[in-house]
Amino acid sequence: MAKPEILEEEPARRYLEFAGPKFMRERRHYPLAFILRTALEVAECSSLAEFLEFCRKNNDQLRIVFQRIINKLNERYAPKTVSFYMYLLFNFLDFHNIDIEKAKRKLKMPRGTVRVDRLPTLAEVQKLILASRSPRMRLLIQLLLQTGMRVSEALSLRVADIDFDAKVIRIRGAATKTKRAREVPLIPELEAAIKEYLDRRKVDSVWLFPNLRDPSQPVSREKMMRNFFNLLQRYHLAPRDPSGRGYQIHFHVFRKWYKTMLERAGVNRLLIERWMGHTIGVQGVYFLPTPEDEAREREKAAEALRIFGKTEELKPQLSAPLEKALAKQALLSLWAIEDALLEKLVIATVYRKKDVREEIERNLEVLRERMTEFTSKLTREELEELQRLYGERTH
């Protein structure tokens, strides 16, 4: 497997030989290359050999160098990612007998923060795909949205993993988090996008997302994530989340979008979990849908996940005072309807009219959901005053 140029240097080659083939299979050599390049830049060294020599001769300065690296990473990456990069760097230095323990004890690592995600709207999803100038990025975004794959799974796909006849995409076990292979439905809209991408791409590669400089290898996750965040910034498609460590919209949010859209469409939950590669325990063992059952759920999924040819209804924005006035008027009417339904419910219960009672209860449930929409626009004081007014009208 081809490696970034810095990993061809002697100290890196020795470390990779020690780390073993699994390190390469898990593609950890890409983040290793990134953190080593960052370390050289911060330490102002031109090679790994020079950097190791610097570390040996200036052991008392290592804390300062490490802290500068952490601060540099912290400007862009989440605390968990910073910790992972530093873990790779520390292991590399430890292999080369650099004493790092004293320096590590004095470091200030970034504190973990809770990132606040949000689902992109359909309009934002469409814009994200269409705004990218890169065919690879356009297809990757659409693939993540319409398959629920993790980004590492998507980037490890080979063209042969896509079965256009069976309408499925096969994810190899080596690429999954659980190390179990699985299949996900290939919906018609995604199938058309993949075929167009393959027909138009200018490189011949077994990988669906090849490295353009070396088509025999897949593109790195680091590169695609960097390009994606550049896309967000360039088109002002998503602000940073309240934690300040990331964006509200990122690759993993697309996996949540996939699950949410399928749940809304009423697709069987156990099938959703299976397609997403989640462990579902004994329920999964005993869940054996027929081909007809699964075909029916796939049809639901195809419609629920469709991105283009759909629009979202845009509600006109009213001024706050007008919204409050309309909410008050609507609530007065809905409360009157609720009282009338409750009276009918009492009569239906007394006369044991089960069908009538169940219908009234369903209507009450819907009515109260509507009431919640309007009560959310009013303060507690406003609601209390409105209830007083309603009481005066009805008594």
What one-character-per-residue DSSP string does 38-63 give? Answer: HHHHHHT-SSHHHHHHHHHHTGGGHH
Weakest mean pLDDT among 34-38, 62-66, 147-151, 309-313: 309-313
pLDDT, tens digit, 9 for 90 and up, residues 108-128: 887 655 556 778 888 788 888
pLDDT at 1 over 60: no
For residues 338 and 348, what is the distance between their CA atoms, to the nearest angstrom?
A: 15
- Give the residue among 235, 121, 207, 68 at the shortest CA–CA distance from 227: 235
Q: Is 10 helix (H, G, I), strand (E, B) or coil?
A: helix
- Are 367 and 312 spatial neighbours (Cβ–Cβ below 8 Å)? no
81 pLDDT higher than 80 = yes
Of 26-30, 32-36, 184-188, 208-212, the poorest mean pLDDT is in 26-30
Residue 51 has pLDDT above 50, yes or no: yes
**CA distances for 11 relative to 14, 78, 86, 88, 104, angstroms:** 5, 28, 17, 14, 22
Q: Are strands 162-163 and 168-171 parallel, antiparallel or unpaired?
A: antiparallel
With beta carbons less than 8 A apart as the criterion, state whether 117 and 200 touch: no
Of 26, 18, 24, give the one whose Cα is nearest residue 4. 24
Amino acid at the residue 7 = L
**What are the two backbone dihedrals, phi and then psi, of residue 185, each rounded to the nearest 5 degrees?**
-65, 145
Spatial CB neighbours of 83, under 8 Å, sequence gap ≥ 6: 109
Closest CA to 17 of 70, 95, 73: 95
**pLDDT computed for residue 94 by the predictor:** 93
214 or 1: which carries more pLDDT confidence?
Answer: 214
Q: What is the pLDDT of residues 188-243, one digit of tens each?
A: 999 999 999 999 998 999 999 999 888 999 998 888 988 998 888 777 666 665 55
pLDDT tens readout for residues 303-357: 999 988 765 554 556 677 888 888 888 888 988 898 888 888 888 888 888 888 8
What integer pLDDT is reported at residue 186 of this predicted model? 97
Tell which wins on pLDDT, 133 or 261.
Answer: 261
DSSP string, 49-116: HHHHHHHHHTGGGHHHHHHHHHHHHHTTS-HHHHHHHHHHHHHHHHHTT---HHHHHT--PPPP----
Confidence of residue 10 (pLDDT cuts 50, 70, 90): very high
The pLDDT of 161-181, averaged and rounded, is 93
Interacting residues of 211 by C-beta distance below 8 A, sequence separation 6+: 2, 217, 218, 219, 220
**The predicted structure's pLDDT at residue 315:** 53
Residues forming beta bridges with residue 183, ordered by sequence position: 170
Position 3 pLDDT exceeds 70: no
Compare 383 and 297 and report the one with higher pLDDT: 297
Across residues 156-181, what is the average pLDDT? 93
CA 168 to CA 17: how far, in whole Å? 37
Tokens of 337: 């309807």
Integer distance in angstroms from the first to the last C-alpha of the chain?
82
**What's the confidence (pLDDT) of residue 380?**
75
pTM over 0.75: no
Instruction: Choose between 346 and 143: higher pLDDT.
Output: 143
Rg (CA), the chain: 28
Residue 303's pLDDT is what? 93
Question: For the residues 366-394, what does the mean pLDDT come to?
Answer: 79
Identify which of 74-78, 162-166, 247-251, 324-328 has the greatest average pLDDT. Answer: 162-166
Give which of 25, 27, 28, 32 is closest to 9, Cα–Cα: 32
Please state, rounded to an integer, the average pLDDT across all residues of the chain: 86
Residue type, 161: D
